[in-house]
Amino acid sequence: MNISLRTVGALAFAATLAACSGGGSPSLPVSPQAQSHAPSSVNAFSLIENGSPVAGTHIMPSAANAQLIEMAHGGGGGTSAGNLLYGGGPVQRNAKIYLVFWGWSSDPYGEQARITSFVQGIGGSQWASSQSQYYDNTGSISNDAALGGSWSDNSSSVPKRPSQSAVAAEAAKAAAHFGDYSVNADYFVALPTGHDPSGFKTQWCAFHSNTTANGSKIAYTDFPYQTDAGTSCGENSVNSGSAGYLDGVTIVGGHEIYEAVTDPQPSTGWVDSSGAETGDKCAWKSLQNTSFSTGTFPTQPLWSNSAGGCVQ
């Protein structure tokens, strides 16, 4: 299996914002009908497997790729492609993040504890509050994302280089374990150290998608062991020395969680005209330590239509 970022991805990812501002109470958006656009299941952020884009997948490019893309296109900000547009699909109004630690036999850097504490503190945070301005045809997103549960699944071996379909199958297995097939469920499949998919670190850090399980579409995130990637996926991007080894865990994790919240079935939710989601437009920009109820974690900003920019 060979995974590579399409050259056309450069144009889309160049739409990142240089200036970020503080969070605030978002203004009410216009109606879905006035802002809707025709969604596409494949765009410049799609995962590439065996030379072809995988429909309905959405990657977060690595920090190295983001820098090269910006350099190749002379910089630019998230405003260049305008605000996020509503595609008519669902959002996760009351998100439940299910952490699935698939085949973990070791955790040398303590990623399990870090991502668990981070997810437990997201709901009600100022960092996530800007995303409440987004909605679907049933209502707006609530700032109440919560840890739905945690599962260490050692019932099957993890491939050395897990494919998209293997991770989707594990997400479906987790949905059966937890019994939640709702649109609000995000099955966050954390892969063990040393089991890195092709393209991880050099081209992307994580991706989210959806799959069908028990007749329902469920959202899932493919989350490799981030410290395997070093600085390519955020190590020491905020904090120095050993204190920064896990910086990428919450930077990348938060990026993927809120892209799943606002666009659980890519790209039918909130996506800009270039295919960028709420995290993409602010990726690897203005990274900082942010306070949550469960501790302080490195984060990136998220895009706010009402602010016309990135907010923490």
Asked if residue 8 has pLDDT above 70, the reply is no
User: For residue 127, which of 264, 246, 294 has the smallest C-alpha distance?
Assistant: 294
- Sequence spans of domains, the chain: 9-311
Asked if residue 45 has pLDDT above 90, the reply is no
- Is residue 78 very low, low, confident or very high in pLDDT (cuts 50, 70, 90)? low
Residue 307: other Cβ atoms inside 10 A = 19
- Is residue 20 very low, low, confident or very high in pLDDT (cuts 50, 70, 90)? very low
Q: Strand pairing partners for 48? A: 53
User: For residue 235, which of 219, 251, 258, 217 has the smallest C-alpha distance?
Assistant: 251
**Average of per-residue pLDDT values in the chain:** 86
* Percentage of the chain exceeding pLDDT 70: 83
pLDDT at position 63: 87
pLDDT digits (tens, 9 = 90+) for 79-91: 777 899 999 999 9
pLDDT digits (tens, 9 = 90+) for 103-144: 999 999 999 999 999 999 999 999 999 999 999 999 999 999
Asked if residue 9 has pLDDT above 50, the reply is no
pLDDT at position 81: 77
Question: Greater confidence, 173 or 77?
Answer: 173
In degrees rounded to 5, what are phi and psi of residue 21?
Answer: -125, 175
- Is residue 77 very low, low, confident or very high in pLDDT (cuts 50, 70, 90)? low
Q: Is 131 exposed, middle or buried (0-12, 13-18, 19+ CB in 10 A)?
A: buried
Average pLDDT rounded to a whole number, residues 47-61: 92
Average pLDDT rounded to a whole number, residues 273-289: 91
pLDDT at position 74: 34
HEC letters along 145-196: CEEEEEEEECCCCCCCCCCHHHHHHHHHHHHHHHCCCCCCEEEEEECCCCCC
Asked if residue 34 has pLDDT above 60, the reply is no
User: For residue 276, which of 81, 72, 34 has the smallest C-alpha distance?
Assistant: 81
pLDDT at position 69: 43
Identify whether the C-beta of residue 36 lies closer than 8 Å to the C-beta of residue 180. Answer: no
Question: Greater confidence, 163 or 74?
Answer: 163
Q: Pairing state of beta strands 135-136 and 139-140? A: antiparallel
In degrees rounded to 5, what are phi and psi of residue 106?
Answer: -150, 160
Average pLDDT rounded to a whole number, residues 51-57: 93
Q: Pairing state of beta strands 309-311 and 204-213? A: unpaired
DSSP state of 207: E
The answer to whether the Cα torsion of 202, 206, 210, 212 is positive or negative is positive
3-state secondary structure of 40: coil
Asked if residue 278 has pLDDT above 60, the reply is yes
Asked if residue 18 has pLDDT above 70, the reply is no
Q: Structure pTM?
A: 0.87
Contact residues for 192 (Cβ-Cβ < 8 A; gap 6+): 101, 102, 103, 104, 105, 106, 158, 225
Average pLDDT rounded to a whole number, residues 48-52: 89
Residue 51: other Cβ atoms inside 10 A = 10
